[in-house]
Amino acid sequence: MSIKHLFPGLKNFKAYLNTASAGFLPLTALKRIMDFSSYLVDFKEGADSVDFLDREIMEKVLEEGAKLFHTSKENLTLTIQTTEGLKRLLLSLEPRKGMNIVSFDMEFPSLACLLKSYAKKHRLELRIVKNRGGWYFIEDVEKAVDDSTFAVIGSSVQWISGQRMNLKEISKIAHEHGAWLIADAVQHAGGLVLYPEREGVDAFVAGGEKWLLNPSIGSGIMYISNELIEEASPLAGLLNMKPPMGEWSSWWGMPEKNPWGKFELKNDARKLDFGGGPPYLMATALWGALELINALNIEKIEKHNTKLAGKIRDEALSLGLEVIGNENWENSAIVTIKTGLSYEKEEEIYQQMIAEGIKVSHRGALGHYGIRASPHLYNEMEDVEIFLNSLVDYLSKL
């Protein structure tokens, strides 16, 4: 059954295959946003109570997240997109001077910026695994990690190639050397199965703007393992502390309280919360999207997405084109076609497609580039065929 009616924005495109840039907001999320906005406008009972709103909103969105990632809600908390969550996570950890961080040379620039500044702050060595033909191989990761490695930090699905990293193997390598595995999962969560405990991931952060169907909302979610929760030492901001009396409401008016007294950090993932009032409106938008993803079932979504992306790959290869990764590519929702043309010629084709209403992306780094397609749950095979037919048509005219 088609669910396109839940995504009114699709009507603006002939074919939209660009979720790796931005997903669509579903009507399920819009309803949650509108309901909560009306509740705030009317300032109904509990609108000013963190105890009430935590129970009615935060608990609900984290429960949906727990279903999606097959974990406990105590291992989840919210973030503002991806980089802010990674920053908050890293700043809660204290690596020893002289340790190293392992990452990958084609990472999204915001991750590179964050890791460079973090390494400089803590006097860490950055070890960057180099791609081979736009692809990464587990033996190269193994060579980079040693007993001085603090963490392996990288995207669980690469943004240009669509490579789905072997998290279980990377985790094994990292843990054998006492290192953490921390994943940027913005190109993974919501589009493909991600069960962090099965994969041995210590933490991941995923902004909501892509596969989690929360574009321009600012939402995001992070998973933190029990071991990393115990290790983390974040700055305390009051509301990431345990309520002194089990709840905050009854405590605010107590005259005997000492604002400089002792408070205890929460003992779950929410110890890394912002410390002030949670972003409840953002949470409602993510809640509505997660409800839909869970209703459709992430394993079925992965099967659907990889089938469409696989069709794009197979047809591109049958036309004599290449995709980044070629024979290594599998089980991803992102595929990047290399036409063999110059970047400038390929950009012309890309711009013609955009003008035609076919939304894809043109992406590249370190000499690798191509036309990137990224189907999601609202796409159908017809969208793939429209894109491929258009690509063949433009190539035939060159």
User: Are 331 and 280 in a shared domain?
Assistant: no
User: Are 215 and 333 in a shared domain?
Assistant: no
Question: CA 137, 310, 186, 169 torsion: positive or negative?
Answer: negative
User: Are 321 and 252 in a shared domain?
Assistant: no
Tokens encoding 47: 């609108």
pTM: 0.96
User: Are 218 and 237 in a shared domain?
Assistant: yes
User: Are 287 and 344 in a shared domain?
Assistant: no
**Going by DSSP bridges, is the β-strand pair 76-78/125-129 parallel, antiparallel, or unpaired?**
unpaired
CATH number, position 383: 3.90.1150.10
- Domain holding 12, by residue range, is 4-17+299-396
Residue that terminates a domain, selected from 258, 278, 294: 294
Which residues are CB-neighbours of 131 under 8 A, at least 6 positions away?
104, 105, 106, 366, 368
Distance CA 46, CA 53 (A): 7
Q: Looking at residue 130, what is its pLDDT? A: 98
Integer-rounded Cα radius of gyration of the chain: 22
In terms of Cα–Cα distance, which of 321, 372, 371, 383 is closest to 343?
371
pLDDT tens string 33-63: 999 999 999 999 888 999 999 999 999 999 9
Instruction: For residue 22, tell me if it sits in a domain.
Output: no
User: Are 256 and 351 in a shared domain?
Assistant: no
Cβ(336)–Cβ(160) below 8 Å? yes
Q: Looking at residue 1, what is its pLDDT? A: 56
Instruction: For residue 384, tell me if it sits in a domain.
Output: yes
User: Are 360 and 281 in a shared domain?
Assistant: no
Instruction: For residue 341, tell me if it sits in a domain.
Output: yes
The 3-state secondary structure of the chain, one letter per residue: CCCHHHCHHHHHCCEECECCCCCCCCHHHHHHHHHHHHHHHCCCCCCCCHHHHHHHHHHHHHHHHHHHHCCCHHHEEECCCCHHHHHHHHHCCCCCCCCEEEEECCCCHHHHHHHHHHHHHHCCEEEEECCECCECCHHHHHHHCCCCEEEEEEECECCCCCCECCHHHHHHHHHHCCCEEEEECCCCECCECCCHHHHCCCEEEEECCCCCCCCCCCCEEEEECHHHHHHCCCCCCCCCECCCCCCCCCCCCCCCCCCCCCCCECCCHHHHCCCCCCCHHHHHHHHHHHHHHHHHCHHHHHHHHHHHHHHHHHHHHHCCCEECCHHHCCCCCCEEEECCCCHHHHHHHHHHHHHHCEECEEEEECCEEEEEEECCCCCCHHHHHHHHHHHHHHHHCC
User: Are 142 and 249 in a shared domain?
Assistant: yes
Cβ(160)–Cβ(129) below 8 Å? no
- Structurally, the chain folds into a number of domains equal to 2
User: Are 233 and 320 in a shared domain?
Assistant: no
Q: Residue 100: phi, psi to the nearest 5?
A: -130, 155
Cβ(163)–Cβ(201) below 8 Å? no
Residue ranges of the chain with per-residue pLDDT less than 70? 1
Beta pairing partners, 78: 221
Instruction: For residue 24, tell me if it sits in a domain.
Output: no
